[in-house]
A and B are shown apart, each in its own frame.
Chain A
Amino acid sequence: MSDNSDNNGYWAANIRLVKICLVIWALVSFGFGILLRPLLSGIPVGGTDLGFWFAQQGSILVFLALIFFYAWRMNSLDKEYGVEE
């Protein structure tokens, strides 16, 4: 049964990581890019504001970072819990 509880720990750690990543994912796109844009309108970026930058450039860069961060963290979690291939 210890094997099973290990798997549960692994899964819980994974879910925690997924949640953190998805919060950031939503914040940069729906948040900074759309809903919170008025709040960022005071920060000028090249003729417009930070919200516009997030909508057309920033969010994509953050998405990239998120996927690589997740892959790197998960691959080390795999080893930590001994469930790698």
Chain B
Amino acid sequence: MDQFTLNLLVVGATFALYIGIAIWARAGSTSEFYAAGRGVHPVTNGMATAADWMSAASFISMAGLIAFTGYDNSSFLMGWTGGYVLLALLLAPYLRKFGKFTVPEFIGDRFYSSTARMVAVICLIVASVTYVIGQMTGVGVAFSRFLEVDVSTGLFIGAAVVFCYAVLGGMKGVTYTQVAQYCVLITAYTIPAVFISLQLTGNPIPGLGLFGEHTASGEPLLAKLDQVVQDLGFNSYTGHHADTFNMLLFTISLMIGTAGLPHVIMRFFTVPKVADARWSAGWTLVFIALLYLTAPAVGAMARLNLIDTVYPNGPQAEALMYEERPDWMKNWEVTGLLKFEDKNGDGQIQWYNDKSEGFAATATANGWQGSELSVNRDILVLANPEIAQLPGWVIAVVAAGGLAAALSTAAGLLLAISSAVSHDLFKGQLTPNMSEKAELLTARISMAVAIGVATYLGLNPPGFAAQTVALAFGLAAASIFPALMMGIFSKRVNNTGAVAGMLTGLIVTLVYIFLHKGWFFIPGTNSFSDADPLLGTIKSTSFGAIGAALNFTVAIVVSRATEEPPQEIQDLVESVRIPKGAGAAVDH
């Protein structure tokens, strides 16, 4: 059986499973649609949240970004896991105690203002749509590879599948489907990693293999990697080359963004008790950590394997002849995500850092006229088993895993967007007398619109999947997280303060991003670039941390200058802080 048929079979089988579960658990009432009847066990909820959370960015994109940069991209690892500490300590238990369906509802009630609620809806939609764009980039990469089509075609097919999938079920379907998706994606991620770790280091645990010995050379793996990348003029893998201040801000931004993303917070409304919300955050991180502890090993080992493929006898010897390239390169050439251009006409694939001035002399001496291979970073994880020459079924499972990751998150986000529009915007504000049926219809229409916009923007994404997703985190960090945190930890912050804070955080961050990535992400409309940012070394992906600081400051200053919240709101804050009495607030 050829690889294409095998991919189709495995991907088809996993899809049948998800759709089967979605139909079996079809959403009934609106209350079930949003929060799965609040009867989900913490471990189950943790697993579903992990699937929801680990998107195309984590699965498809992140290890590739680490592979090509090394230590400097550790921010993704620390940022996307460290956020759970904030979530568990600062938000999850209190929001569960509060016991409403959505994040804007909490903000609206706590800041006793429908304006605050509307502003929260807008923040949520902006962050979520940006996030979906990143997902669509990943979906495009995954579909283009496994259907062997051009990346734009892959994107359109993927968008259609995501739409059908998200419209089919509500959260209840999604919760159990996501447990299945988690199992598929974690298996798909770990199997090739274990194989490759065994091949390279003899250690079956990738996270240990990373710090183990490279069997072929007898040197430590990372030392070997440092040496071969530097032989090709790249920065050392383990060295710290990026700007420290920007790295710090980027990590903070990802962390607080994690704790401010509505589709993740929503999951903590679904556990039975406040105590369970605390455990559930821990379980979620356990399931996430399984992937995140493996990802740096996947990145480092894939980089080593890739160099080994292009330079079979080491970087000092002759490079691979283009005519003799392995099949995986041919397959990825079809998608347009891997390109070869024979600049010096010798028929060999010279891949090195042609931006390095220090290396230019060596390159000229070798007769190289520029790096001839360009590899899109988002393909690395999907191509990884092929590069390592693993069996066909492993490659098929990885394709299925990548799709599971992208689909589950896209579905979770679409749900957050649709509930914000139908529940908070229409039912809560514009048309309070709406029937349940009309509410569900509005929810579905808003899903369709969101996916249309994301697909259009996904054709010319503002960056690799994980980078686009990082922008979404910056937006969530700057707008939603500070409002939630102050709502719980301060009795003094009032409606005017919260609204002013959220608007400042959102607008300043959004403008900063648009200045660097183009207005509304339309290419060519940017005035600055992340290579030379507007403010010092602060890249647009890191600006969320600054936005959040502004949000906190403005909210506190404005609140001080205006009158304090009414007594009943202060009582509400008191009651949110203690778990007792949480059971009462289930339905409304």
Fill in one digit per residue for B77-114: 1 if any A CB lies within 8 Å of its CB, else 0: 11001101100111001000000000000000000000
The CA-CA distance from A14 to B71 in the complex, in Å, is 35
Using a Cβ–Cβ cut-off of 8 Å, how many residues does chain B contribute to the interface with A? 52
Which of B168-190 touch A at CB < 8 Å?
none
The answer to whether A7 and B211 have CB atoms under 8 Å apart is no
B582 engages A67 (CB within 8 Å): no
Task: Report A46-80 CB contacts with B as 1/0, cut-off 8 Å.
Answer: 11110011011101110110111011001100100
Residue on B nearest A17 in the bound complex, by CB: B89
Are B279 and A71 in contact (CB-based, < 8 A)? yes
As a 0/1 sequence over residues 281 to 304 of chain B, the CB contacts with chain A under 8 angstroms (1 = contact) are 110011001001100100000000
Report whether A55 and B74 are in contact in the complex, using a CB–CB cutoff of 8 Å.
yes
- Please tell me if A83 contacts chain B, counting CB pairs below 8 Å: yes
A19 → chain B closest CB, angstroms = 10
The answer, among B207, B222, B274, for a CB contact under 8 Å with A47, is B222
Q: Does B13 contact A (CB under 8 A)?
A: no
Q: Which A residues touch B362, using CB under 8 A?
A: none
**Contacting pair B93 A74 (CB below 8 A):** yes
**Do B278 and A75 touch across chains, with their CB atoms under 8 A apart?**
yes
Docked Cα-Cα span, A85 to B578, in Å, equals 9
Given contacts A55-B71, A60-B292, A63-B84, contact A47 B219 (CB under 8 A): yes
Q: Inside 8 A of B325's CB, which chain A residues have their CB? A: none
Q: A60 near B578 (CB under 8 angstroms)?
A: no
Report how many residues on chain A are interfacial, defined by Cβ distance under 8 Å. Answer: 41
**Contact, CB under 8 Å: B248 / A60:** no
Partner of A85, one of B89, B221, B222, B583: B583
Instruction: Specify the chain B residue showing the minimal Cβ separation from A74.
Output: B278
What residue in chain B is nearest A38 (Cβ atoms)?
Answer: B240
Contact partner, A60, options B77, B224, B279, B583, Cβ 8 Å: B77
Q: Which residues of B contact A70 (CB under 8 A)?
A: 88-89, 278
CB pair B282 A33 closer than 8 Å? no
CB distance from A6 to the nearest CB of B (A): 9
Q: Judge whether B77 and A55 touch: CB under 8 Å.
A: yes
CB pair B293–A67 under 8 Å, yes or no, is no
Instruction: List, in ascending order, chain B residues with CB within 8 A of A14's CB.
Output: 577
Question: How far is B88's CA from A63's CA once the two chains are assembled, in angstroms?
Answer: 10
Evaluate whether A21 and B89 lie within 8 angstroms (CB atoms) in the complex, with A59-B82, A68-B282, A75-B275 already known.
Answer: yes
State A82–B580 Cα separation when bound (angstroms). Answer: 8
When C-beta atoms are compared, the residue in chain A nearest to B240 turns out to be A37
Contact (Cβ within 8 A) A47 B211: yes
Q: A55-B74, A74-B93 are in contact. Are A7 and B279 (CB under 8 A)?
A: no
Enumerate B501-541 residues with CB–CB distance to A below 8 Å: none
**New contact pairs (18) apart from A33-B251, A56-B296, A67-B285, CB-CB < 8 Å:** A10-B578, A33-B74, A34-B247, A34-B248, A47-B223, A47-B238, A48-B223, A52-B222, A56-B210, A60-B293, A64-B286, A67-B89, A67-B278, A70-B278, A71-B278, A71-B281, A74-B275, A85-B579
What are 6 residue pairs bridging A and B, where the CB atoms are less than 8 Å apart in the complex?
Answer: A7-B578, A29-B78, A46-B211, A47-B226, A48-B220, A59-B81
